Amino acid sequence: MKRKIKKLNEENLIREISDFFITLDIKKVLQKITDTLEKRLKVERVSIFKKKEDKNVFEFFVFSKGEKELKRMEIPLGKGVVGYAYKRGLPVIVKDVKKDKHFYSLVDQAVGFKTRSILAFPLKLKGRKYGVIELINKKRGIFTRRDVEICRFLSPFISLALENAILFERLENMFLGIIRSFARAVEAKDPYTSGHVERVEALSYLLARKSGLRGENLRIARIAGILHDVGKIGVPDRILRKPDKLTKKEFEIVKRHVIYSKEILEPIGGIEDVIPGIYYHHERYDGKGYPEGRKEQEIPLIARIISIVDAFDAMASDRPYRKALPAKKIVREFLKNKGKQFDPELVDIFLSMEEVKKILKTL
């Protein structure tokens, strides 16, 4: 045993293992694991199955070849070669799936892939069954004892890297959940805006993506979209709920909500980068907005994005005192205000988005 493991411990393998832990982004972690296994064991496809907590199913992660997009689906726990390896807690090799009674073709159908041979290796975490890695279609020859040994060597690191990424994802989701929830609670004070938070989140994220933002910046756009009106908590109910037109003085008070947003968010370590997108989302491209009267590129990109999305959702939603505007009128408003209220390039990108066209079609 010792001898065998020593044989496998080339420096490269160690470096590859440490790569599993180089990020907590679940997609990247799985990518690294998959790449290492594909390369090391010379197989066509790697799938990773994790038993869901408190549920008798596997969560099944696989990258669709080529597009490199991560698919997640649930499959029953006991089924197939993977289920067999999981139950036994031992590696299972299937040289030819056509001749094997344990082969379960639903997954094949789902991912549109032709399986010939399989090595399924059970994963453990802290001494407990955790999941299975499945190596599909050995490119040349058959799965060997050495392949199994490499799996045995890598498997504790695979479980750990995956579990850490899942934990991190859970915390991030909790974080998004709580800010969504608070944003909704603030919104509930403003009876005109039901569902506004979710829509601005989704469209801000999509427009940011279309505008070329990636990674952490996309995350910031999403969070800013959620929290853009959070400072409304500082505006008295009687003004927020006033059904008539606001007086000039009342409007001045409403305008303060961007300042309140900033004050609420500033003490929070780690989300400083989100504030500009929120604080400046009522600036206008021509410099006539608030709070500072910034113009054009002086206004942070994410604020220019939210400005468009926010205005769009206001026009595209019913209000107690009016229906949503017709699609044509909304488009006309945007075209009229290109370069005045809104960043002209962003307006073009926004109006060309499939998701926006879809919403406009319903109006």
Contact residues toward a second copy (CB under 8 A) are 1-2, 5-6, 9-11, 14-15, 18, 21-22, 24, 126, 153, 156-157, 160-161, 164, 167-168, 170-175, 177-182, 184-186, 188-189, 230, 233-234, 236-238, 260, 264-265, 267-271
Q: Are 228 and 280 in contact (CB under 8 A)?
A: no
Closer Cβ to a second copy, 15 or 139, answer by number:
15
Angle at 268 between CA 262 and CA 271, to 5 degrees: 80
**What residues have CB less than 8 Å from 56, skipping those under 6 apart?**
76, 77, 78
How far the first Cα of the chain sits from its last, in Å, is: 69
Q: Please tell me the number of Cα atoms within 13 Å of 116 on its side-chain side.
A: 9
Q: Are 278 and 228 in contact (CB under 8 A)?
A: yes
Return the number of the residue (257 or 304) whose C-beta is nearest a second copy: 257
Shortest distance (Å) from residue 315 CB to a second copy? 27
* Residue whose CB is less far from a second copy, 119 or 161: 161
Kindly state the smallest distance separating residue 127's Cβ from a second copy, in Å: 11
Write the DSSP assignment of 321-340 as a string of letters.
Answer: TBPPPPHHHHHHHHHHHBTT
Q: Of the two residues 180 and 210, which places its CB atom closer to a second copy in the complex?
A: 180
What is the C-alpha to C-alpha distance for residues 33 and 16, in angstroms, rounded to an integer?
Answer: 9
Residues 230 and 263 sit within 8 Å (Cβ to Cβ): no
CB of 169 to a second copy, least distance (A): 10
CB of 177 to a second copy, least distance (A): 4
Nearest distance from residue 60's CB to a second copy, in Å? 20
Strand partners, 94: 118
> Which of residues 3 and 145 has its CB atom nearest to a second copy in the complex?
3
78/234 with CB nearer a second copy: 234
Helix spans in the chain (H): 2-8, 11-20, 26-41, 80-88, 106-111, 145-187, 196-210, 215-227, 237-240, 248-255, 257-265, 275-279, 301-316, 327-337, 344-351, 354-361
Least distance from C-beta 179 to a second copy, angstroms?
Answer: 6
In 3D space, the residue among 83, 126, 86, 115 whose CA is nearest the CA of residue 102 turns out to be 83
CB closer to a second copy, 168 vs 290? 168
Q: In angstroms, give the least distance from the CB of 137 to a second copy.
A: 29
Contact (Cβ atoms closer than 8 angstroms) between residue 190 and residue 240: yes
Whole-number Å distance between alpha carbons of 178 and 172:
10
Write down the least CB distance from residue 218 to a second copy, Å: 17
Q: CB 21 → a second copy: shortest distance, Å?
A: 4
Residues 356, 346 contacting (CB under 8 angstroms):
no
Q: Whose Cβ is closer to a second copy: residue 107's or residue 161's? A: 161
Closer residue to a second copy in complex, CB, 16/343: 16
